[in-house]
């Protein structure tokens, strides 16, 4: 017998999908709907308006909580330390937020005695996978409902019509039906005009960053300080994690930094054209990687690079709460002790360029070894011996091949002679 569902905790953003979900769930189950919204640093989050809208759409109660610091410290910075970029480009803002939202929802569901949790994700995206995989990993007993997927609308236009018929105010229109997800680590935009991967994103698709012609005429310089892999200050000013990221978003946006336009491979097998804006992520990932090059030994650095993409895949695929993600995280954590120092960056017309780096305590850069002037301390003689041994296997193989060829030429000659 299926269990009675009287109370549902719904992940709610106030957007089209989740607003429509309130109505649907309420009608289908005749259940009480409680909405859950995480404040993850999305700009212009009007908690009062969100609450009013949820109640007006049919929710009996709303939970809105500020998770910004936790999001940055427990999810974003670990991903930064892992150099996480899906397919080398996407800093995973949406993907990192989902497991945190799911974890908090699982806790609240228990507290308020909800019989099920629900989300407004469609069947085509990654977010359904991330939510449900996280719910399953944290509370295997929890019932999960996905109204949009399971009794979904055929088109987004249908959904907009349904919202209008039910007096649900929505931002998306049929002309601009973009689907947007936003948090402090970045904003993700898909659908609408973006579905044609050949078409340049319309001007209004980018919401955080300035267009290059509107950026300042002169560059700006930033110095970011890291302590054991954690960014702690900008230009000498100490900042807490969330404030630091917010400030970099602001500066980066002014200089048009952090726009990403890509075709990505979703977990469900679909290729999708997405655009992202992630100024702070772009700046911090660039700086962290650069400082790593200065302080990590060559082999750790190279090994880290080989598993960065695996780690990014795990996060993208919704496997945050998996043993492998945790094990990989431990690997990155062991390297962070060395990542203390400063990185100097130049922002100009959409570019974020490292122009200097230093670490008083952990730099492995030895000017005496690197220099070509009279202060050179490198033992040039040792290079000759090194190369001799380094190339020994190739030399042996080449001699072997030569001998073989000589033998074959001799044999051919004697056959001809017969």
* Contact indicator for 93, 188 with CB cutoff of 8 Å: yes
Strand, helix or coil for residue 221: strand
325 flagged as catalytic: no
133 binds ligand ARG (CB under 6 A): no
**In the window 265-284, what residues touch ligand ARG (CB under 6 A)?**
274
| Distance of closest approach, residue 268 Cβ to ligand ARG, in angstroms | 10
Strand, helix or coil for residue 259: strand
Give helix 392-417 / helix 380-390 axis angle, nearest 10°.
50
**In the window 279-318, what residues touch ligand ARG (CB under 6 A)?**
none
Q: Judged by CB, which is closer to ligand ARG: 152, or 233?
A: 152
Q: Judged by CB, which is closer to ligand ARG: 70, or 190?
A: 190
182 binds ligand ARG (CB under 6 A): no
Catalytic pick among 179, 253, 312, 359: 179
Q: In what order do the strands lie in the sheet with 143-145?
A: 61-66, 32-39, 7-11, 116-118, 143-145
Q: Judged by CB, which is closer to ligand ARG: 68, or 188?
A: 188
188 binds ligand ARG (CB under 6 A): yes
Calculated CA dihedral for residues 92, 93, 96, 101, nearest 10 degrees: -150
How large is the C-alpha radius of gyration of the chain? 27
**In the window 26-45, what residues touch ligand ARG (CB under 6 A)?**
none
Cα–Cα separations (whole angstroms), residue 210 to 43, 206, 218, 375: 16, 8, 15, 47
52 flagged as catalytic: no
66 flagged as catalytic: no
Q: Judged by CB, which is closer to ligand ARG: 215, or 249?
A: 249
Q: Judged by CB, which is closer to ligand ARG: 54, or 234?
A: 54
Q: Judged by CB, which is closer to ligand ARG: 61, or 261?
A: 261
A 10 A CB-CB count for 31 gives 20
67: Cβ contacts below 8 Å, ≥ 6 apart: 38, 39, 40, 100, 101, 104
Binds ligand ARG (CB under 6 A): choice among 32, 70, 127, 290 = 127
Q: Could you give the CA distance from residue 401 to residue 157 in angstroms, rounded to a whole number?
A: 68
Catalytic pick among 19, 21, 115, 127: 127
98 flagged as catalytic: yes
Beta-bridge partners for 65: 38
Binds ligand ARG (CB under 6 A): choice among 132, 181, 277, 290 = 181
Size of the site for ligand ARG (CB under 6 A): 10
Catalytic pick among 13, 98, 130, 292: 98
What token pair was written down for 212? 């290059």
Q: Which of 176-184, 251-259, 339-347, 401-409 is the region at the interface with ligand ARG (rule: CB under 6 A)?
A: 176-184
* Contact indicator for 40, 75 with CB cutoff of 8 Å: no
Binds ligand ARG (CB under 6 A): choice among 35, 37, 126, 336 = 126
Q: Which of 142-150, 173-181, 251-259, 363-371 is the region at the interface with ligand ARG (rule: CB under 6 A)?
A: 173-181
A 10 A CB-CB count for 378 gives 13
Query: Tokens 């990989």, residue?
Result: 328
| Distance of closest approach, residue 295 Cβ to ligand ARG, in angstroms | 31
Beta-bridge partners for 384: none
**In the window 81-110, what residues touch ligand ARG (CB under 6 A)?**
94-95
Residues making up the chain, counted from first to last: 418
What token pair was written down for 200? 């340049």
| Distance of closest approach, residue 126 Cβ to ligand ARG, in angstroms | 4
Query: Tokens 């190339």, residue?
Result: 391
Q: Could you give the CA distance from residue 280 to residue 285 in angstroms, rounded to a whole number?
A: 8
User: What is the contact surface with ligand ARG in residues (CB under 6 A)?
Assistant: 94-95, 126-127, 179-181, 188, 190, 274
Give me the active site residues, please. 17, 98, 127, 179
């Amino acid at each position: 017998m299926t269990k009675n569902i009287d109370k549902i905790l719904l992940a709610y953003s106030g957007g089209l999908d989740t607003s429509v979900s309130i109505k649907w769930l309420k009608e289908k189950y005749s259940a009480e709907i409680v909405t859950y919204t995480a404040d993850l640093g999305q700009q212009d989050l009007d908690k009062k308006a969100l609450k009013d809208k949820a109640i007006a759409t049919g929710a009996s109660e709303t939970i809105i909580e500020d998770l910004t610091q936790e999001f940055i410290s427990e999810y974003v910075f670990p991903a930064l330390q892992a150099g996480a970029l899906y397919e080398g480009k996407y800093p995973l803002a949406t993907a990192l937020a989902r497991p945190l939202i799911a974890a908090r929802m699982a806790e609240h569901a228990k507290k308020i005695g909800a019989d099920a949790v629900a989300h407004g994700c469609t069947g085509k995206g990654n977010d359904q996978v991330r939510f449900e995989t996280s719910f399953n990993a944290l509370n295997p007993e929890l019932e999960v409902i996905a109204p949009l997927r399971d009794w979904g609308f055929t088109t987004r236009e249908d959904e907009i019509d349904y919202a209008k018929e039910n007096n649900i105010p929505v931002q998306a229109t049929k002309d601009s039906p973009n689907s947007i997800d936003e948090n402090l680590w970045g904003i993700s935009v898909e659908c609408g005009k973006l579905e044609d991967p050949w078409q340049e994103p319309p001007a209004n698709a980018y919401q955080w960053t300035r267009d290059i012609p509107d950026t300042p005429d002169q560059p700006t310089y930033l110095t970011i300080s890291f302590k054991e892999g954690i960014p702690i200050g900008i230009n000498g000013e100490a900042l807490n994690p969330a404030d630091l990221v917010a400030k970099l978003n602001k500066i980066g946006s002014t200089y048009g930094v952090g726009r990403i336009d890509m075709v990505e491979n979703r977990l469900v097998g679909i290729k999708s054209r997405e655009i992202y804006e992630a100024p702070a992520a772009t700046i911090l990932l660039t700086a962290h990687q650069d400082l790593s090059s200065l302080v990590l030994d060559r082999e750790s650095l190279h090994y880290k690079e080989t598993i960065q993409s695996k780690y990014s895949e795990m996060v993208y695929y919704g496997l945050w709460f998996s043993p492998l993600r945790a094990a990989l995280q431990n690997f990155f954590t062991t390297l962070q002790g060395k990542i203390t120092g400063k990185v100097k960056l130049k922002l100009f017309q959409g570019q974020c360029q490292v122009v200097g780096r230093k670490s008083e305590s952990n730099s492995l850069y030895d000017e005496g070894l690197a220099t070509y002037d009279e202060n050179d301390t490198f033992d040039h003689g040792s290079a000759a011996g090194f190369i001799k041994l380094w190339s020994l296997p190739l030399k042996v193989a080449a001699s072997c091949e030569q001998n073989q060829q000589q033998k074959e030429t001799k044999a051919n000659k004697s056959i001809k002679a017969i």
